[in-house]
Structure 1
């Protein structure tokens, strides 16, 4: 497996609180990697550090061998990074159709094939949707963009078990050729439906507490 993006001795501070304590993560291309941990473990902060939405106090972000630590989030997006946060991931005042057209112009049919539940909601402002509906709308960005790095914070938030299972299958498909993306998910526990050989990093209080491959039974 080839490393696509990595955190090297990354430290992130929110005021006096240090959220990441010299964290090292290597995230391979063509692989689903799950960052596991309770709230406050640092998994969301790790995604934000990779995306460039929080600055590092120390350490580096290395993408395909290049140091991108000082590259702003919008430039990382232009280079092929897609970040779907857990909150405020859609444009609330725009309709579902407008959100889809902004995310992937000309590919609305592909979005609706992934989430047919959105078809009847196209004229609705995104801010009026349920939590699960907003989540599906936000996830279409990750599924339809050509990004080489896809970061998703709690993909199944608000989704039914059936839609969550479909979502993990769709995300796992991004790791296959020709796209071969590095897909990184932040979760509280190992989700069902990920392919064997997916990676899991367990975080605790901003540090790496364990790592391993996910087996067919879903355990790392």
Structure 2
């Protein structure tokens, strides 16, 4: 598998606390990778380090072998990285329709159709300000960013946060679809437990206190 993006000996500090302790992660293209761990394990910080929203105190971020450690978050986004954080992922003062228009990379009407096909629950809320939505509705709106972006790297922190079991299952299917050609994105999810329904070849890295505790293939490829 081709490694799309990687952390090498990455260290991140928040004041006196070190959140990542020399973490090594290799995240393949065309694959769903799940970063598992409890709160404080470092999984969210690992996503932020990949996205460039927190600086490394030591180590490197490599994108297809090129060192992008010094590249700021907006430059990584322009290069083809989409990050959906767990909080403050939508523009609260804008309507749902305005949020979707901002996320559109092509024709706004086509982008809106794509978003509403994925999450029809948003259709009656288009004129509502995002800040008035429920937690689950805001999450669906935020997740459309990953679906509308042509990014080669998609990072999502707690994708199922606030979602019903049925919508969470649909979400994992939508995100897994991004790994298939022609897009073949590297999709990286931060979760507390393993999601159901991931495609064959999906990977899991379990983090504990900012270090890698375990790595495994979640769903083996069919033999033969």
Q: TM-score, normalised by structure 1?
A: 0.97
Partner of 1:189: 193
3-state DSSP of counterpart to 1:23: strand
Q: 1:111 aligns with which of 115, 126, 147?
A: 115
Q: CA deviation at 1:142?
A: 0.3
Equivalent position of 2:54 in the other structure: 54
Hey, what's the Cα distance between the residues in 1 that align with 2:165 and 2:197? 11
Q: Deviations over 1:56-99 (max 9, x none)?
A: 00000000111000000000000000000000000000000000
State the Cα distance separating 1:144 from its structure 2 match: 1.1
Q: Within 2, Cα distance between the matches of 1:196 and 1:37?
A: 21
Q: Partner of 1:168: helix, strand, or coil?
A: helix
Coordinate RMSD, CA, aligned: 0.7
Give 1:196 deviation, angstroms. Answer: 2.1
Ranges in structure 2 where 5+ consecutive residues have no aligned partner: none
1:130 deviation in Å? 0.2
> 8 Å contact 2:44–2:157 — kept in the other structure?
yes
Aligned length: 216
Shift of 1:215: 2.4
Aligned pairs for 1:99-138 within 5 A:
99-104=99-104, 105-106=107-108, 107-138=111-142
In structure 1, stretches of 5+ residues that fail to align are none
Shift of 1:197: 1.2
Normalising to structure 2: TM-score of the pair?
Answer: 0.95
